Amino acid sequence: MNENITLDLEQTFGELNECVIVTNPERIIVFANKAMARLLKVDREEVVGTTTKRFFADPNQFAQMAELYQSPTDQRNRKAYAIDLVLEDSSTVSVEVVSAPLFDEAHNLTGILFIARDLAERRALETKLSDIALTLEDALDAISEGFALYDKDDRLVICNDNYREIYANSAPAMFPGNRFEDILRFGLNRKQYDTGGLSDDDWLQERLRRHLAGDGSVLEQNLADGRWLRISETRTRNGGIAGIRFDITELKEARAKAENAYKNLSLMADNIVASVTEVDLDGKCVFINKTACDWFNDTADNLVGTRLRDRLPWKERETIRAVFEEATRGEKVSTEISLHFPDGILRECMMSCNPRFDDSGSVEAIVVLISDITDRKKTERTLAELYAITSTRELGHEDKIAEILRLGTEHFEVPFGIISHVIDDHYTITHAQSPNGELAPGSSFPLQDTYCLLTLRSDEPTATANASNSEFAKHPCHQIFNLETYIGAPLLVDGEVHGTINFTAPDVRKRAFTASDLQIVRQFADWVGHEIARQRDHQALMNAKINLERVASIDDLTQILNRRAFLERANTEVQRFRRTKRPFTAVMMDIDKFKQINDLYGHATGDEVLRKFADTVSSALRSVDIFGRVGGEEFCMILHNADLEDAMLVCERLRQRIIAECQLDIVKQTVTCSMGLAAVAREDLEFSTLMQKADTALYEAKSTGRNKCVTCKAPQSEHTPAV
């Protein structure tokens, strides 16, 4: 090799860090750079001109390298050879040698260029990397999660045993270099995944999309055997993807149990007819049940996170705040309070605040239970007032019923209260309570046009607070009277249906009727029924008393006053005369020859004559006059405000009327009457004296021919001369 070539080689490779040596076709060294001399531990000048054989530790390797000179253009010069070299100090070193043939212009081989790399450092690095890899594998296998690393081409680099155990069906496909998609397909074909109803292709595309995103977001994956995995995949700096799989089956089951327990708790809370809430120490809502949502007139989504008490009037907020502050000190607090809720209803409530403690014993939240005791409180007040009404002696029958209707309209918060009497298909109002007297007792309606028909058919209290949204909407009463609110009960008197008691309003009631309301209206109906029955019994007793008195004072045959009753009335008239000085005349009357009628025609005929006589006289007298039978055929009458002259005119008319009206076909003789008249005077202290005077005049009428009227002559004074 000429000097120019040697100079070129020196300029090109002399200072190169890589070890370079050039041989001629006879394997004689013609050039060695400084790095090669240092590797071989020789001087450069000593190497040139010698063969390379001296440096081969294994002669066989030297012989194998001869093939490079035999076919310099084939693939042998493109591969690396690992050679053990003997250095000048007899030590050895392993190197990796690559070669390149050198040709002249005629393409004749002029030599071969060798580049040697010391493998000691590389093998040390490989050993170190191997140790690191083993350490990494040991570390990966030590963690409980599944781990896998994919390169930038999405091919598996490494994964731990937990990763293979998690995806046992896919484990055969988990070898370095296999693509993530191929591993997924392998598992899909073996039914490893729960695709959630998606087709395999759709599921695969969605899973690849999430995988390639590598954004660190958490994905929950369901396997076909029921296990759940939490997956987090993140891009590495060199574009690969590192992923962790964590088995969360127990966590999911625990969460499902917790969610189920929460649902059950929520279901229980939602079925409680009380407000159940939990608030933090700032008073903000963290839980609220359905009843509370209804009361606060909003949804749970809008109410959670807000301070519920801020939705109440300020005075009520102050009371609640004081109770809340006491509960935050760790004490259970209960109180009765009236609250105006956002749904527009005023409720009397029992509020209980129960502190909830954390593990350290500090209060972390307050559970608030608010029970609506409005019905109980109203019922207590109503029953107390009902007892007061029914037990008082200050009110009469009608007043008590009126008070019960008033009490009912106040209790049920409606304007109208009615007690009806139902006969067949007719509904008649007997008592009514209305703001302006719109309902008049005595008004009558067809029963079929009233809600009370439903009440009587059910034979128990019925009610609706919103007729338009109930079966009541189909009833004619809804169309005719537009009543939205109704509560009523059958009214029984002595076990028989008398009618109904009901309370109504044209407006929808804010609060639905409760079981307590139905019991209250039943009690109203029971008491009114008892009162009507008692009033009937009282009236029957009074009628019986009147009948007894009538029996005791009326003559059975003639149905006019008997002697005792007539004399009582007559003496009363004498006392009235002594007070008022108003005159009256007593008239004694006797049927002429009555004994002869009895003897000839019998007592039955005689009785008929007496009845006709009594009827004729009674029908001719005024209502203020008094008429009675004082003996067998003797009668007496008192003519009010009549002196003797007026009385005589009346008696004469009566005498003529008796002749005209008291005759019987069977009696041949004419029935006539004699009368004796006496006017009351100052000296008549008792009626007996006046009656005696009239009786004297009657005797005169009888003895002087009968069928006449005679007045009692006043007694003469001792100073009056006889005529």
CA–CA distances in Å: residue 371 to residues 420, 520, 668: 37, 21, 96
Residue 213: which of 234, 230, 185 has the closest Cα? 234
Structure confidence at residue 81 as a pLDDT band (50, 70, 90): confident
Asked whether residue 518 carries a pLDDT value surpassing 90, the answer given is yes
Q: Give the count of beta carbons closer than 10 Å to the beta carbon of residue 694.
A: 26
pLDDT for the residue numbered 133? 58
Continuous segment of H or E residues that includes residue 228: strand 228-235
Mean pLDDT of the chain: 88
Question: What are the respective helix, strand and coil percentages of the chain, to the nearest 5?
Answer: 45, 25, 30
Structure tokens at 438: 């719109």
Asked whether residue 722 carries a pLDDT value surpassing 60, the answer given is no
The reported pTM is 0.48
Tell me if residue 252 falls in helix, strand or coil. Answer: helix
Structure tokens at 368: 């608030």
Asked whether residue 241 carries a pLDDT value surpassing 50, the answer given is yes
Structure confidence at residue 9 as a pLDDT band (50, 70, 90): confident
Residues 189-210, buried b or exposed e (16+ Cβ, 10 A)? eeebbbbeeeeeeebbeebeee
Continuous segment of H or E residues that includes residue 34: helix 34-40
Structure confidence at residue 66 as a pLDDT band (50, 70, 90): confident
Taking the CA atoms of the chain, what radius of gyration do you get in angstroms?
A: 65
pLDDT for the residue numbered 716? 46
Strand order in the sheet with 228-235: 156-159, 146-150, 241-247, 228-235, 215-222
**What CA–CA distance (Å, rounded) separates 607 from 605?**
5
Q: Considering the chain, what percentage of its residues have pLDDT values greater than 70?
A: 94
Asked whether residue 719 carries a pLDDT value surpassing 50, the answer given is no
pLDDT for the residue numbered 1? 55
Structure tokens at 550: 């009538």
Mean pLDDT confidence for 209-223: 91
Those residues whose C-beta lies under 8 Å from the C-beta of residue 149, and which sit 6 or more positions away, are 156, 157, 158, 159, 236, 240, 241, 242, 243
- Owner of token pair 């001109």: 49
Asked whether residue 563 carries a pLDDT value surpassing 50, the answer given is yes
Residue 420: which of 363, 479, 502 has the closest Cα? 502
Tell me if residue 410 falls in helix, strand or coil. Answer: helix
CA–CA distances in Å: residue 154 to residues 183, 188, 217: 11, 18, 18
**What CA–CA distance (Å, rounded) separates 178 from 186?**
11
For the ranges 69-78, 191-200, 280-289, 335-344, the lowest mean pLDDT is seen at 69-78
Structure tokens at 534: 């008692």
Phi and psi at residue 470, in whole multiples of 5°?
Answer: -145, 180
Mean pLDDT confidence for 550-575: 90
CA–CA distances in Å: residue 393 to residues 288, 397, 398, 519: 52, 10, 13, 26
* Cα separation of the two ends of the chain: 218
What type of residue sits at position 346? L
Q: Are 508 and 466 in contact (CB under 8 A)?
A: yes
Q: Are 69 and 114 in contact (CB under 8 A)?
A: no
**What CA–CA distance (Å, rounded) separates 488 from 79?**
109
Walk me through the domains of the chain, giving residue ranges and CATH numbers: 3-124 (3.30.450.20), 143-247 (3.30.450.20), 256-372 (3.30.450.20), 394-399+406-538 (3.30.450.40), 554-711 (3.30.70.270)
Q: Give the count of beta carbons closer than 10 Å to the beta carbon of residue 52.
A: 18
pLDDT for the residue numbered 367? 94
Mean pLDDT confidence for 259-285: 82
Q: Give the count of beta carbons closer than 10 Å to the beta carbon of residue 112.
A: 21
Phi and psi at residue 121, in whole multiples of 5°?
Answer: -65, -40
Those residues whose C-beta lies under 8 Å from the C-beta of residue 622, and which sit 6 or more positions away, are 640
Asked whether residue 723 carries a pLDDT value surpassing 50, the answer given is no
pLDDT for the residue numbered 717? 42
**What tens digit of pLDDT does each residue of 322-365 get?**
899 899 999 999 999 999 999 999 999 999 999 999 989 999 99
pLDDT for the residue numbered 671? 95
**What CA–CA distance (Å, rounded) separates 165 from 24?**
60
Asked whether residue 262 carries a pLDDT value surpassing 70, the answer given is no
Helix segments in 65-153, DSSP class H? 67-70, 119-142
Mean pLDDT confidence for 237-258: 86
**What CA–CA distance (Å, rounded) separates 657 from 647?**
15
What totals of helices (H) and strands (E) does the chain contain, helices first? 23, 26
Ramachandran category for residue 41: left, alpha or beta (phi over 0 → left; psi -120 to 50 → alpha): left
Asked whether residue 67 carries a pLDDT value surpassing 90, the answer given is no
Structure confidence at residue 115 as a pLDDT band (50, 70, 90): confident
**What CA–CA distance (Å, rounded) separates 193 from 228?**
10
Q: Are 400 and 406 in contact (CB under 8 A)?
A: no
Structure tokens at 302: 């809008």
Structure confidence at residue 138 as a pLDDT band (50, 70, 90): low
- Owner of token pair 């209502």: 623
Q: Are 707 and 674 in contact (CB under 8 A)?
A: yes
Asked whether residue 183 carries a pLDDT value surpassing 70, the answer given is yes
